[in-house]
Structure 1
Amino acid sequence: MTPASTSTSRPVALVTGASSGIGEASARALQAAGYRVFGTYRKPLTQWAGGIEYLACDVTRDESVSAAVQQVLQATGRIDLLVNNAGIGLIAGAEESSVEQARALFEVNLFGAIRMAQAVLPAMRRQRSGRIVNLSSILGVIPSPYSALYSATKHAMEGYFESLDHEVRGFGIRALLVEPAYTRTSFEGNVLHADRKLDAYQAARTQAEALVRTVMQQADTPETVAQVVLRAAQDPKPRLRYTAGSVARRVSLLRRFVPAAAFDKSLRQQLGL
């Protein structure tokens, strides 16, 4: 962890997975907006963003999460904002992933976010204020063939944090969801692949992977999503869900208003199914 004083007059933000992509962009946006920002990393960094105080944290380990949160509290005495950003992707047919691989994905994407939330909530309840902003996905709203398990983690995140939001409002705390579509990040380095690939799905899976690579070339920037994270953090009358980027907004509207059969047909046509 970089050197820190023992008090702060600025709001304090803790951002997981802040070493790159949306996490790094969100940390920078919050720091520019006046927050004192602590960013977590799992692997040691080669380059450190100025103004961000970094600390190691593995969201899959209870003791690591607890230690990181305690470091922030010892340095500042409070946590005003948690941004649950740490996560990994998976492109595979649902049948192509073992239960062990499914568990590993949920361990990061869902249980990691739950661990972080449970670690900061006692301090937020004492403060009678706080906000938890979770990086969900538009795939937490729609189905996605060949991303079934990833979609499942985001659907579960949506259900958990929408329920939590109702429970903690009485303490002055909100739990919110940011839903981006595809975002230009280090895609290949953060996506898992099937641990037991089957020939039966190879052609369709390959086409799904190619579609993702094509879409990523014109995807939203991490900074676009970071501005939505900042809005969710500061909105005086926060909404439960914030879509990030034009594609996510369009898909969200289509899901709500287009008949289910038409939406299903369009989705299958796009994926060549």
Structure 2
Amino acid sequence: MGSKIAIVTGASSGIGEATAEQLAKAGYRVYGSSRRGAQGESSKRTFEMLALDVTSDASVAAAVSEVLRLEGHIDLLVNNAGFGVAPAAAEESSIQQAQAIFDTNFFGAVRMIRAVLPHMRQRRSGRIINISSVLGFVPMPYMALYSATKHAMEGYSEALDQELRTQGIRVSLVEPAYIKSPFDANQLQPDQALDEYRDLRAGLDLRVKQALEGADAPGVVAETVVQVARTATPKVRYTSGALAGRLSFLRRFAPAVLVEAGVRKDLRLDSQPAVRKRATALSQ
């Protein structure tokens, strides 16, 4: 019996690259993807790279067809491609920017899943793992759009898993917290920034950078993905890393008001200079 075949989107760096590497070490034949493919990438990789734009129906169809042509089957799809907007107020992103982040983070995964499902259904076998985030169950102020894409992914994945179980296909979510990777360095800036939020943005940017200093490496998430991929009877949700596990526990068992207070305290929202200025003005 030949190797199991995996596709990992967004595999040029960070979580995607680490996941592809660890799956390859676990015995999978892995096809990673990025918009540029293997162009200008390291030749030391243990997996193949494909050019794939998850926002393009044609690109997705072509990449999946190529893997099927080369290998004859696809056993695992890991949807990791995505991007975020740097911490900013929701109203600082235009509708166009909101649509763009959904087109990659959510609809990109939907396109990939729709492309592999006919093949997986025919074989009555397959595994789909969607890289979500703790922000899929704990909304983060000033990251509303990214949180929204992950909430959408969570609902879609849970419903899809229920649909596909009887056809031999399982869908799981992997939910990390802060991860030290190029993802955060490559976040977009809000395209309609407002002076009202300038101090808040600066304070949040500093707080996130401090949190990332002690964050887990991408390999922690990759290890979780490999464990999920090899589990005979997978669950729908898996947290990845100690912080993600604690947040999941709090979300399930702590009163909502305490969770909200904890989020605000962690981000130091009520001690931000701009917040103090507004509070002072309102009290006068």
Q: Which residue of 2 aligns with 1:3?
A: none
- Tell me the C-alpha RMSD between the 2 structures: 1.1
1:206 Cα shift? 1.6
**TM-score where L is the length of structure 1:** 0.95
- Counterpart contact for 1:19–1:45, Cα < 8 Å: no
- Counterpart contact for 1:23–1:85, Cα < 8 Å: yes
Q: Does 1:101 align with 2:101?
A: no
Q: Structure 2 CA distance, aligned partners of 1:97 and 1:15?
A: 29
**TM-score where L is the length of structure 2:** 0.91
Q: Structure 2 CA distance, aligned partners of 1:226 and 1:89?
A: 20
Indicate the larger mover: 50-59 or 219-228.
50-59
Q: Does 1:138 align with 2:134?
A: yes
SS of the counterpart of 2:178?
coil
Q: Structure 2 CA distance, aligned partners of 1:50 and 1:195?
A: 35
Amino acid at match of 2:144: A
Q: Which residue of 1 aligns with 2:263?
A: 267
Q: Which residue of 2 aligns with 1:62?
A: 57
Percent identity over the alignment is 53
Q: Does 1:254 align with 2:231?
A: no
Amino acid at match of 2:58: E
Q: Does 1:39 align with 2:35?
A: no
Q: Structure 2 CA distance, aligned partners of 1:199 and 1:246?
A: 37
Q: Which residue of 1 aligns with 2:70?
A: 75
Q: Does 1:25 align with 2:21?
A: no
Q: Structure 2 CA distance, aligned partners of 1:190 and 1:240?
A: 29
1:188 Cα shift? 4.5
Superposed CA deviations along residues 84-120 of structure 1, whole A, max 9, x for unmatched, are: 0001011221010000000000010000000000000
Query: Which is greater in Rg?
Result: 2
Amino acid at match of 1:118: R
Superposed CA deviations along residues 146-173 of structure 1, whole A, max 9, x for unmatched, are: 1000000000000111111111111100
1:50 Cα shift? 3.0
Counting matched residue pairs gives: 266
CA gap of 1:49–1:170, structure 2 versus 1, over 3 A, is: farther
CA gap of 1:179–1:45, structure 2 versus 1, over 3 A, is: farther
Superposed CA deviations along residues 45-65 of structure 1, whole A, max 9, x for unmatched, are: 331343311110000000000
- Counterpart contact for 1:204–1:272, Cα < 8 Å: no
Q: Which residue of 1 aligns with 2:45?
A: 50
Superposed CA deviations along residues 165-224 of structure 1, whole A, max 9, x for unmatched, are: 111111100111000001111144421111011111122222111111111111111111
SS of the counterpart of 1:73?
helix
Q: What residue ranges of structure 1 are gaps of 5+ in the alignment?
A: 1-7
Q: Does 1:12 align with 2:5?
A: yes
Q: What residue ranges of structure 2 are gaps of 5+ in the alignment?
A: 270-284
Q: Structure 2 CA distance, aligned partners of 1:270 and 1:159?
A: 26
CA gap of 1:49–1:122, structure 2 versus 1, over 3 A, is: farther
